[in-house]
Structure 1
Amino acid sequence: MNSSECAFCAMVADPGAVVHQVFRDEVAMAFLDHRPLFPGHLLVIPIAHVPTLPELPAELVGPFFERVRQLTGAVERGTGARGSFVAMNNRISQSVPHLHVHVVPRNPKDGLRGFFWPRTRYPDQDAAQRVAAAIRAALDPAG
């Protein structure tokens, strides 16, 4: 998909199309999710078309996540929430193929239970070490 086919890029191009925009600058835009977990649930997107986090240019990582940090505080203060949940998907369960961070206000006993998937354990320490080694090797393509 290219930016001309992306729903979020269309919103960037026509800010009037975003019904409940709360922030926009040259790096990011934030707006209320149209199907919120709780009132105040924001989506924060980069202005540039970036499909996933690994594709976010290095020079945008700091500026983009500074906006996410600021907006997370604003969501907590603006909704009176005692905390927040910040998350993103990459490809799987990513309803729009444009990087977006969910900022969800949280309160004790709000009914949201941890992560949205079942948690497991490694069968043993050797299995955990193998997975950790594979990830470390993937960080350094030279091996």
Structure 2
Amino acid sequence: MTSFVIQSHVDRPETPWTSPFAGSTTSRPHDPDCTFCQIIDRSLPATIVYETPLVIAFLDILPLRRGHTLVVPKMHCSRVSELPAPYAGAVGEAVSVVAKAITQAIDHTGLNVVCNQEYAQAVPHVHYHVIPSPIFSTTSALTPKRPEVKPPSQRAMHRLEFASRSELDDDDAEVLAEKIRSKL
């Protein structure tokens, strides 16, 4: 049985790279049909704000709010529960570094950090969303103008936020990315 398994891998093509495991050379798990793998390989464009040998972070093209950034391991893995420890650690560190830079770049400390596994996971590749929280002011559409009017429920606010999403403009993305990069 073992020889059959070994033989089936003899002519398998590999993508060489430097492994995070004691400098050994191995192949990085990669899915050519995965949007994030294509961004990692630079075959799809993205506004990259942070990168290490194990992690990449880029602005979401359909952000919930200004500064919405994705932090992605450079290894294709669809479940965070299966992500090898070196990548999990590198992603955790990157989330912290990127979160700090975003809060400084937009001068607002409120954030949501979200990672989905299977459920609500649009791209089946581990990724964390670092999303600035909404900023409500007295002129906000979500803030009542009269004190007797009840503020909207959290569910209603989420619906309004989702409905207000729009695609990120390339020029705006580059200006924002530069502000975030300057804080790293």
What TM-score, normalized to structure 2? 0.56
- The sequence identity of aligned pairs, in percent, is 31
Instruction: After TM superposition, give the deviation of residue 108 of structure 1 in Å.
Output: 4.6
CA-to-partner distance for each residue in 1:34-68, whole Å, 9 max, x for gaps?
A: 11111100011001111111011022222220111
The one-letter code matched in structure 2 to 1:95 is: A
Q: Secondary structure at the match of 1:75?
A: helix
Aligned length: 113
Maintained 8 Å contact 1:82/1:107: no
- Indicate which of 31, 36, 40 corresponds to 1:8: 36
- State the superposition RMSD in angstroms: 2.2
**Structure 1 residue ranges without an equivalent (≥5):** 117-143
Alignment of 1:72-83 (within 5 A): 72-83=99-110
CA-to-partner distance for each residue in 1:57-108, whole Å, 9 max, x for gaps?
A: 0222222201111111111111111311100110111000000100011255
Cα distance in structure 1, aligned partners of 2:113 and 2:46: 22
- Indicate which of 92, 96, 104 corresponds to 2:119: 92
**Structure 2 residue ranges without an equivalent (≥5):** 1-29, 143-152, 159-184
1:20 corresponds to which residue? 47
Maintained 8 Å contact 1:3/1:9: yes
1:130 corresponds to which residue? none
- Indicate which of 89, 94, 98 corresponds to 1:67: 94
